[in-house]
Amino acid sequence: MSAKDLDNAPTVVTRAPDAPAPAPAPAPAPAAPAAKKVVDGIEVPGPTDPVTIRIRGLVKKFGPQTVLDAMDLDLYRGKINFVIGASGTGKSVLIRHVIGLLKPDAGHIFVDGEDVVPMGDYELSKLRRKFGMVFQYSALFDSMSVLDNVCFPLREHTKKPDKEIRGIAHDRLTELGIVGADHKYPSEISGGMRKRVALARALVLEPKILLYDEPTTGLDPIATQNVDEMIADTARRTGGTSVVISHDMASTFRIGDVVSMLYQGKVIVHGSPDEIRSSQDKRLREFVETSGAVTFNPERPARA
Ligand SMILES: Nc1ncnc2c1ncn2[C@@H]1O[C@H](COP(=O)(O)OP(=O)(O)OP(=O)(O)O)[C@@H](O)[C@H]1O
Ligand SMILES: [Mg+2]
């Protein structure tokens, strides 16, 4: 038998019938914890770590204007993460980078351990399956009925029969309190209903991460509270990560778990709603106080 044959021969271990059984193999040593992935000196959180999205050194310029200026931000798994800041501070620009609709000039965005920044179209379309996005101004298709708007992602991304798709879309709408409007068009329903239809559409593929861009802007206080409750219920029901872009401090304090404030292209304050309430940062206090969230002032005397 040549050496080559030996290499290919199956390994057969024979043992005499009366020979003692071999001692059991020693238990393998406990596996060392997997080494953390590090990219450019950044520890990359994996798909089960507490951080779902880690943003580091994100820079975005439009001509001479620097909108994101080496921004760092962590967004936490299973939490409702609020990103607040004045109009024009780059909140929508930031969220567009997270789903790869914009490419930065520099920096990293890790989602479940994968860097979004270098991804091409194919990888991005796979990545986007993780996300549900409720755009600022709802962004429903005006020429489609409410039901067809919600069916749209299922028709695009699944091969389910149309009857089943319509059933799922109808159920999602009903869960969100949109009843009897399946065949109406977006222009025939109220702004608050449009937000809920947009949410139903974002939820229909059961995403792990939900991004909301100013979900309550332009709504009255009752509709705002309804949308807040819907976001909180959805977070509880799905256990997913929610990212809410907002300048509504009442909503932030009502349902936020973690709050980050953008200012001049950076996150300047990051913490729990209580930490935000008691922060002495002048820029934050000015923003919160002018937003009319009267619960902010920590010195405010308790009412008798
Ligand atoms: N595609 C673009 N080309 C050039 N400038 C842009 C583009 N998109 C955004 N900007 C600029 O970037 C800045 C941030 O815009 P962005 O829409 O992110 O603000 P925002 O914080 O979401 O504000 P708002 O609260 O009003 O929605 C603005 O000055 C805007 O004009
Ligand atoms: Mg915006």
Residue 165 CA, ligand 1 centroid: distance in Å = 36
In the predicted structure, residue 270 carries a pLDDT above the cut 80: yes
Answer CATH for 51-137+201-290 from 3.30.420.40, 3.50.50.60, 3.20.20.140, 3.40.50.300: 3.40.50.300
Ligand nearest to the CA of 85: 1
Residue 84 CA, ligand 2 centroid: distance in Å = 10
Residue 98 in contact with residue 74, Cβ under 8 Å? no
- H or E element in which residue 232 lies: helix 221-238
What is the pLDDT at residue 18? 55
In the predicted structure, residue 222 carries a pLDDT above the cut 50: yes
Answer with the residue of higher pLDDT: 222 or 81: 81
Residue 101 in contact with residue 263, Cβ under 8 Å? no
In this structure, the chain runs to a length of 304
In the predicted structure, residue 160 carries a pLDDT above the cut 90: yes
Report the nearest-CA residue for atom 28 of ligand 1.
Answer: 88
In the predicted structure, residue 82 carries a pLDDT above the cut 70: yes
> Alpha carbon 1 to chain centroid distance?
62
Among 60, 92, 135, 137, say which to mutate for ligand 1: greatest number of ligand atoms within 8 Å of CB. 92
What is the pLDDT at residue 92? 92
Instruction: Note the pLDDT tens digit of each residue in 109-130.
Output: 999 999 999 999 999 988 988 9
Ligand 1 pocket check for 62: Cβ under 6 Å: yes
Ligand nearest to the CA of 93: 1
Residue 37 CA, ligand 1 centroid: distance in Å = 33
Ligand 1 pocket check for 93: Cβ under 6 Å: yes
Among 67, 87, 212, say which to mutate for ligand 1: greatest number of ligand atoms within 8 Å of CB. 67
If you average pLDDT over every residue of the chain, what do you get? 85
Describe the chain by its helix, strand, coil percentages, rounded to 5.
35, 25, 40
Ligand 1 pocket check for 71: Cβ under 6 Å: no
How much is the average pLDDT of 260-274? 95
User: Crossing angle of helices 162-175/191-203, nearest 10°?
Assistant: 130
Phi, psi of 151 (to 5 degrees): -70, -25
Q: If pLDDT is split at 50, 70 and 90, which confidence band does 254 have? A: very high
- pLDDT above 70: percentage of residues in the chain: 84
Among 16-30, 55-69, 145-159, 192-206, where is mean pLDDT lowest? Answer: 16-30
Residue 35 CA, ligand 2 centroid: distance in Å = 38
Residue 93 CA, ligand 1 centroid: distance in Å = 6
Instruction: Note the pLDDT tens digit of each residue in 85-111.
Output: 998 999 999 999 999 999 999 999 999
Domain ranges of the chain: 51-137+201-290
DSSP states of 117-168: TT--HHHHHHHGGGEEEE-TT----TTS-HHHHHHHHHHHH----HHHHHHH
Ligand 1 pocket check for 90: Cβ under 6 Å: yes
Q: Would you state the structure tokens that stand for residue 279, as one six-digit string?
A: 């922060």
In the predicted structure, residue 17 carries a pLDDT above the cut 80: no
C-alpha distances (whole Å) from 296 to each of 29, 203, 280 are 54, 32, 11
Ligand nearest to the CA of 263: 1
Residue 83 in contact with residue 244, Cβ under 8 Å? yes
Ligand nearest to the CA of 68: 1
Tell if the pTM clears 0.75, that is, is over it. yes
Residue 21 CA, ligand 2 centroid: distance in Å = 71
Among 11-15, 101-105, 117-121, 230-234, where is mean pLDDT lowest? Answer: 11-15
Residue 276 CA, ligand 1 centroid: distance in Å = 25
